[in-house]
Structure 1
Amino acid sequence: MLVSLALLALGVLTAVVAPRLLPRADWAEREPVVALWVWQCVVAMVLLSFALSMTFSAAAAWQAVRGPVFASAPSAVIEAYELGTNRPWSAVLAVLLAAGGLWSGAMLGREIGQARTRRKQRRCELLVRAPLLPGEEVSGSGRLVVLEGERADAWWLPGGTPRLVITTAALRRLKGRQLDAVLAHEQGHARARHDWLLHCGEALAGGFPGVPVFAAFRGEMHRLVELAADDVASRRFGRLTVALALVELNEDRGVFGPGPAPDGDLPQRVNRLLTAAPRLSPGHRLRLTAAASLVPVIPVLVAFVPALTALP
């Protein structure tokens, strides 16, 4: 069945070409939220292409699948999809793609389980380092936790009772609006649920390390969510304030010195904030968002081509 092979080829082509084209977009750093949406739509297109290819291959191979899928379809449509010609590769392709789908689900489940375990461990560590007061309950404790520490740091701990954690060293280093900017940055992660994007990226890249689009998706998610959170904070407190806060938090880690740094993206983030490139116009952002939203529709249109040509 040619439509199944066409969908498979579309998914493979997108998985190879998209990681080479999308990083070249000069607007991504100016509009990280739009870039996040574009990457999600591209990955959705790849996954949908493979899912539809699996469906049509299974329909061609087994009557048990063909019946429910094409129950109300006219005979001309069924003939257009060549469902009566049972080729051996149809069953093989359907099984392989189904196994890939089950593996993706298993990897996502594993990633979520590991993330929950890590969060539980970090919450236990928080209780050790910042024990509850007599009569205080965990569910009723505040969302802001201050830890005694000599290293300036701040992070958001997601979960059922999300917490914003900051060390006393960060409180000493950050002055006034800089502290507010750091808190706004972490709250930006929480409101946008960036942790779910990171989980999906880790699951796909970990489950299919040889697929370029999934590896690029993971890397871009880590980079773009930080840029998006930087923009959330800078809209409230200014780009210069956010840049100075990043420098104050990380200057002792060797990030801004010569040679390789443990977090090489930080200098680029600070430089991006200081250069203050103008945002795209609202109309341009709307067009990019709308165009990206249509990307997952492409495999659906390919899947319906034989049916549309068969109908009078």
Structure 2
Amino acid sequence: MSLLLSLPLLLPFLAGPVSRAAATSLPPGPAVRLLACSAAGLAAGSTAALAMLAVPGATHLRPVAALGHLLTPLTSGAPGTALAVTVAATSMLAATGALLVRGAYRWRKRSLRARALAAGSPGELVVLADEHPDAYALPGRPGRIVITSGMLRALSAEEREVVLAHERSHLRGRHHLLVAIAELAAHCHPGLRPVREHLRYALERTADEAAARAVGDRRLTARAIGRAALAVRASPGRRRPGSALAVTTGPVPLRVAALLGQSARTPASRTPRRLAAVTLLACLAVSAGASLRAADSLHARIEIAQGETCGE
């Protein structure tokens, strides 16, 4: 069973580099869905694997065996080795749990703060009297689009419409929830940290495409995003809420290039897209299958250790 459980623990390391190819080669919408599902599924698989690795060795302890009504331990090897595996798995589970609790608390705190800021404004648009150019989507009930006076001066009227459409897409799609899922998944397994960053890129690309459709001009959209990013870079020192999604986030040159690229898909370009998607789906399927198979095996061993098989 230990060999079977090693798959959910190792596959997230493969998903990290593959997620980059998925984020850059797939259309933004499918990329977002694939990366979010992969992060959540692989995190669940690795956490379940640690939990199942901790169980067999723990049954050598009398309180645990009595709690499970076990007549014999689940492992027949040396108790010292089984207990060492249990201690290691339990320690990693405890660390993961602490990171998850801290991450969930921080996300909740940021969300409440964002809602409080959003609630203080009567309309969708909040204009801050701030010389530092910035613009971001502030999640809340309802959400708000925050833009500074410095950013308004840095952009033309048409470019402002692009920025507003971009941030409106973040609010409409509730993208901050997907970011939270990816952040919590990264706390579960270090191999999923790159997936979190690539999901953020895919979310920005989704908002870019929504803005391009809203204004009907891809070149204008690319120019507005580029000018906004240059304005922000030229004026550092801004303070933005942690839960905010901004038009200037991520690799802006790559996003601009995607907006200016040809929309036609050549047959040669389909290969990396399919390979990235198939690889991520395969990682997710293998992780889930290995976890379920290991859980079934563990359940059968528990029944045997409880003496139910002999009673039948």
For the aligned pair, the TM-score class normalised by the smaller chain equals: 0.5 to 0.7
CA distance in 2, matches of 1:304, 1:188: 37
- Structure 1 residues 201-212: aligned runs within 5 Å: 201-203=182-184, 205=186, 211=190
Residue equivalent to 1:163:
144
| Cα distance change, pair 294–214 in 1 and its aligned pair in 2 (3 A) | closer
Q: CA deviation at 1:155?
A: 0.9
Question: Which one of the candidate residues 187, 191, 203 is aligned to 1:225?
Answer: 203
> Of the two structures, which has the highest relative contact order with CA contacts closer than 8 Å and spacing of 6 or more?
2
Residue equivalent to 1:273:
259
| Cα distance change, pair 303–22 in 1 and its aligned pair in 2 (3 A) | closer
Contact 2:129-2:149 at 8 Å conserved across structures: yes
Contact 1:155-1:186 at 8 Å conserved across structures: yes
CA distance in 2, matches of 1:288, 1:204: 20
Residue equivalent to 1:144:
125
Quick check: 214-223 or 52-61, which moved more? 52-61
CA distance in 1, matches of 2:264, 2:64: 53
Residue equivalent to 1:192:
173
1:240 aligns with 2:219: yes
1:49 aligns with 2:41: no
Aligned residues: 275
| Cα distance change, pair 41–86 in 1 and its aligned pair in 2 (3 A) | farther
CA distance in 1, matches of 2:28, 2:49: 32
- Structure 1 residues 97-108: aligned runs within 5 Å: 97-108=89-100
Contact 2:35-2:195 at 8 Å conserved across structures: yes
Contact 2:179-2:199 at 8 Å conserved across structures: yes
Residue equivalent to 1:5:
3
TM score, norm. by length of structure 2: 0.67
Question: Which one of the candidate residues 26, 35, 38 is aligned to 2:34?
Answer: 38
Contact 1:240-1:273 at 8 Å conserved across structures: yes
Deviations 1:237-256 (A, max 9, x none): 2322211221332333457x
Contact 2:8-2:45 at 8 Å conserved across structures: yes
Paired residue type of 2:201: R
CA distance in 2, matches of 1:94, 1:49: 18
The CA RMSD measured in Å over matched residues stands at: 4.3
Contact 1:145-1:163 at 8 Å conserved across structures: yes
| Cα distance change, pair 184–105 in 1 and its aligned pair in 2 (3 A) | farther
| Cα distance change, pair 7–254 in 1 and its aligned pair in 2 (3 A) | same
SS in 2 for 1:296: helix
Q: CA deviation at 1:42?
A: 3.5
CA distance in 2, matches of 1:160, 1:49: 33
Q: CA deviation at 1:29?
A: 4.2
TM score, norm. by length of structure 1: 0.67
Q: CA deviation at 1:207?
A: 7.3
Contact 2:19-2:195 at 8 Å conserved across structures: no
CA distance in 2, matches of 1:149, 1:16: 42
Deviations 1:176-212 (A, max 9, x none): 443332122112222333223333444555676xx3x
CA distance in 1, matches of 2:66, 2:25: 48
Quick check: 239-248 or 286-295, which moved more? 286-295
Gaps of 5+ in 2: 235-247, 301-312
Paired residue type of 1:19: G
| Cα distance change, pair 155–227 in 1 and its aligned pair in 2 (3 A) | same
| Cα distance change, pair 301–200 in 1 and its aligned pair in 2 (3 A) | closer
Deviations 1:203-235 (A, max 9, x none): 555676xx3x22312321332221121122122
Residue equivalent to 1:16:
13
Paired residue type of 2:56: A
Q: CA deviation at 1:59?
A: 4.2
Identity of aligned residues (%): 26
Q: CA deviation at 1:165?
A: 0.9
CA distance in 2, matches of 1:185, 1:110: 30
Contact 1:7-1:49 at 8 Å conserved across structures: no
Contact 1:147-1:165 at 8 Å conserved across structures: yes
| Cα distance change, pair 227–175 in 1 and its aligned pair in 2 (3 A) | same
